Amino acid sequence: TINEQNPDVENEVTKNYITVGFSQLGAESDWRSTNTESMLDAFSQENGYNLIYKNGQQKQSNQITAIRMFIQQEVDYIVLAPAMETGWDSVLGEAKEAGIPVIIVDRRVDVADKNLYSCWVGSDFELEGKKVAAWLKAFTEKRGISADDIHIVNIQGTIGSTAQIGRSRGLANAARANGWDILDEVSGDFTETKGREVMASFLRKYDNVNVVYCENDNEAIGAIEAIENAGKKVGADITNGEIMVVSFDGVNQEAINYAKEGKIACIAECNPHHGPRVSSLIKTLNSGGIPDKFNYVSEKLYSSFDDISEIVVDGSTYTIDELE
Ligand code: GZL
């Protein structure tokens, strides 16, 4: 007989495999596509898995439907990459009722009972924001640029996602501490199209923007296009009319090329390769082990301005890496 969910998979072959239901939030960015690839590679048959993969098209309702389907199919594990932090208590309660362990990957879930999921793996998004802000502070101070001359707009990610919450908080706290002016913050939903639209509206509204904090690379690419379409120059000479762009992810090749040219002044890496990490967490659970509840990945900071070789954040030193 053929498993109707995965027609190319023989039930006989997979009966002693670990069956995993993976609810991915969407395909909004290069980071997301790379993250999906990493998960599909890790949860292959040759690695001992039968994977049921569902793309939520950025809608939490689709993800909830997918989780309910996984429960119906009595999968062994559910992996959830949540679009936003809230709204998961009841469906994760149903998974717990069904005795199916849940692993959260990438963004976080804000649930009353943390026992609704076994563990989480992902990035420290606020630290990513702090790193970019620390780099901006080091860069501007080295050039004698006064905090009063720094006027920032933040093109935020999907509002309510952990990546947006952490990166926005990292910037806001640094701006308050350093006396920087944040002119505005509007969501670009982690996409190039919205990044371009939001940047164009910022340029119509403010004539003194000189730093654009993009909460992912796809937004940064859109913002650069909007800046150049408005006849302005993207660059680091921000007291002479240039507009500096900083960003997150380090996955999109165009953004990496921009960073090599100095068009994106600094990128905080956000590592998308969660597949092997989630697979090892499942293997630990499957052998009766108790994995750590929160598993943070370590990440780099990239810039082609090599006169800033390291930054300090909360007492820890981070080197600035060249982009390969
Ligand atoms: C971060 C991830 C974010 C990326 C965006 O781990 O949640 O979502 O930074 C992606 O590119 O859309």
- Is 269 touching ligand 1 by the criterion CB < 6 Å? no
E strand or H helix that includes residue 21: strand 18-24
- Is 28 touching ligand 1 by the criterion CB < 6 Å? yes
How many angstroms does the Cα of residue 210 sit away from the middle of ligand 1?
24
- Report, at the CATH architecture level, how domain 2-117 is classified: 3-Layer(aba) Sandwich (3.40)
Dist CA 204 CA 218 (whole Å): 21
| Among the listed residues 266, 231, 238, 234, the one whose alpha carbon sits nearest the alpha carbon of residue 151 | 238
Are 178 and 211 in contact by the 8 Å Cβ rule? The answer is: no
Are 218 and 30 in contact by the 8 Å Cβ rule? The answer is: yes
Per-state percent for the chain, helix, strand, coil, to nearest 5: 40, 25, 35
Dist CA 11 CA 57 (whole Å): 28
pLDDT of residue 16: 80
* pLDDT (tens place) for every residue of the chain, 324 residues total: 334 555 555 555 556 899 999 999 999 999 999 999 999 999 999 999 999 999 999 999 999 999 999 999 999 999 999 999 999 999 999 999 999 999 999 999 999 999 999 999 999 999 999 999 999 999 999 999 999 999 999 999 999 999 999 999 999 999 999 999 999 999 999 999 999 999 999 999 999 999 999 999 999 999 999 999 999 999 999 999 999 999 999 999 999 999 999 999 999 999 999 999 999 999 999 999 999 999 999 999 999 998 999 999 999 999 998 877
- Is 35 touching ligand 1 by the criterion CB < 6 Å? no
Asked whether the ipTM of the predicted complex exceeds the cut of 0.90, the reply is: yes
How many angstroms does the Cα of residue 165 sit away from the middle of ligand 1?
12
Dist CA 92 CA 80 (whole Å): 10
At position 144, the amino acid (one-letter code) is G
Q: Which sequence spans correspond to the domains of the chain?
A: 2-117, 125-270+301-321
- Report, at the CATH architecture level, how domain 125-270+301-321 is classified: 3-Layer(aba) Sandwich (3.40)
- Is 123 touching ligand 1 by the criterion CB < 6 Å? yes
- Is 196 touching ligand 1 by the criterion CB < 6 Å? no
Question: From the CB of residue 64, how many other CB atoms can be counted at a distance below 10 Å?
Answer: 19
Atom of ligand 1 nearest to the CA of 123: 6
For residue 3, the 8-state DSSP code is -
At position 96, the amino acid (one-letter code) is K
Dist CA 28 CA 55 (whole Å): 11
